[in-house]
Amino acid sequence: MQQKFERRKQHINTHAMHAFCPHVPTLNLYTPLDKSFAKVAQCSGFSRTKELKNSLHFLLLQKFCPSFPKESACDSIIIKEENKIFRFTTVFSLYFRTWHHLHLSVLCINPTGRRRGFKTSSNATARLQSQIESCSGWVRGWAHVPMLPLLLLLLLASHGHGPAAAAAQGLPPLPIGVNYGANADNLPSPAAVATFLATKTTVNRVKLFDANPAFLDAFAANAPSISIAVSIPNAALPSFADRATGLDAARGWVRDNLAAHVANGANVTLLLAGNEILGPVVVPDLVVALLPAMRRLNQALQLEKLPQVRVTTPHYLGILAPSDGIPSNARFRPGFDDKVLAPMLKFHNETGSPLMVNAYPYFSYNAQNLNYAIFRPNAGIYDPATKLNYTSMFDAQMDAIYTAMKKLGFGDVQIAVGEAGWPTQAEPGQVGVGPEEARDFNAGMIRVCSGGKGTPLMPGRTFETYIFSLFDENQKPGPIAERNFGIFNPDFTPKYDLGLLRDGSSASPNPSPNPSPKPSPNPSPSGGGKWCVAKASADATTLQNNINYACGFVDCKPIQSGGGCFDPNNVQSHASFVMNAYYQANGRHDDDCDFKGTGMVTSSDPSYGSCKYVS
């Protein structure tokens, strides 16, 4: 019995180790216990206490409340209850269903719905609960949900347990924004959409792809509490940038497209100056006009008495220079960094507006890194400079942006996510696409952006975020996936459960079509004569990092299972394809094919069979 108890205890402690130190190799059940505990203490930075040196519970307590006393008057109660639970519970049911009982025992709290008659001191309960509330800054918000079980549920959620599990344990739904595109012929009216979002869901922000007056009027009348981001077409920006007439043009646009709707109740809080001006397709005149246009629009909003509306512009992740996918190595692209993005970040800093990025791990994943892309358990990518392990591609992308901003001296500027999502349907045979994958990605993103989890370099932060998208858009051109990013059906039933419906809500409005097209995706680049391929001497780890990075900016479906470039299924071939796609999309500059010395430019077309390299 004692040996079984010790093995179970070690099993749980190894889970603790990976909760705090995911880069440390897994210790199996036959690793000596002292080695396991030493590893936990060494990589977590938590000191082992006199009586609880082997306790997972104490590690968790210290994680959330570092100032908590290192020894407690109820140590003996903790050990007693710990022994009871280990003896009465199997390892897996302990891990998945009764951790909250363990950690209530740590706090000497009498758990609701307790098993086996665990009892603790009510005086100790009050005293310790008060201490934890004081040191953590978290207050109990639900009458029957003590605080540490809630923290444990959040920790479990960070390891890939979806919102359904969180909801089952009593976690509150989290607010989030959505992209509301209407390039479809089967969607409900804007008024029905606004009413549904405001009364039935926790969605608190909507991003529009234009300034459609029907949409603005619908939200003014039916959902004045929902914040709205309004988009200006790219082609309008040069008229606002003109030194002589730009301010008048900007004021005219604001008066014609925003002022009356805001006066009627539309809660417009963001004005988006174009979309992805800095790539993947770069039009030099628009790049030059972008920041001056943003400044004129901000001036116009002040003069038209709309100071609550902030100005920003969505960027694709290609504003980052090629790197190995390690966040600490990230920087903005040469030419854009000092001349465009540094002054733009200064504008954001001065006006309190966020830098907005469109983050799409979907365009970076393959069969090998799927779990990393959709917040499922995985070994992760270790950043030796920061000693942080990334088990989420989305986290790595966000921290790469943060690192690049910080290198320019603007680490305090807020980051907003303009688009991020995962489709429920794609090309036949494509792995990693479906309702479960979409749910896991979007649920993980909501935890990071709205749940206060933050990222490894930005812990505890929240990010203004817009899921792509509210509905499927059956009239959009391009691959099947482009038409299948929606999280709700046209009858307002969820395509999968993200926990966004309010308690007791049901969806039953009658849909009525009212399409409003989103601009078409950027065209693929074209050219000729030069391609980028991986060097034969490049090592597989670096090439895989190249794939992870480049696929954040280009379409990598051809190298996925069933794609025209999937075979030969090896990292050398796949890396060459995506490195070339990245090189072509960014203007075929030699620097875009460097990839830390692992790429080279060739004049020989590497296309073969059905695999056609972009040129």
Q: How many CA atoms lie within 13 A of 179 on its CB side?
A: 25
Backbone angles phi, psi at 404, to 5 degrees: -65, -40
Report residue 517: phi and psi, to 5°.
-60, 145
**H-helix or E-strand spanning residue 227:** strand 227-232
Question: b/e for 501-520, b at 16 or more Cβ within 10 A?
Answer: beeeeeeebebeebebebee
Structure tokens at 578: 């995506």
Q: Using only the alpha carbons of the chain, give its radius of gyration.
A: 26
Sign of CA dihedral 362, 366, 371, 372: negative
Give the tokens for residue 338: 């000092």
Give 507-553 as a 3 state SS string.
Answer: CCCCCCCCCECCCCCCCCCCCCCCEEEECCCCCHHHHHHHHHHHCCC
Coil/strand/helix, residue 599:
strand
What's the CA gap between 137 and 151, in Å, rounded? 13
Give the position of tokens 């981001």: 229
Q: Where are the beta strands (DSSP E) in 3-122?
A: none
CB 360 within 8 A of CB 421: yes
Catalytic position from the list 81, 304, 419, 473:
419
DSSP state of 606: -
Residues 531, 162: Cα–Cα separation, whole Å: 42
Could you confirm whether 419 is annotated as catalytic?
yes
Give the C-alpha separation, 172 to 156, whole Å: 15
Catalytic choice (81, 276, 464, 473): 276
What is the b/e burial string over 365-399, where b = at least 16 CB atoms within 10 angstroms of the residue's CB? bbeebbbbbbbbebebbebeeeebbbbbbbbbbbb
**Which positions are annotated as active-site residues?**
276, 419
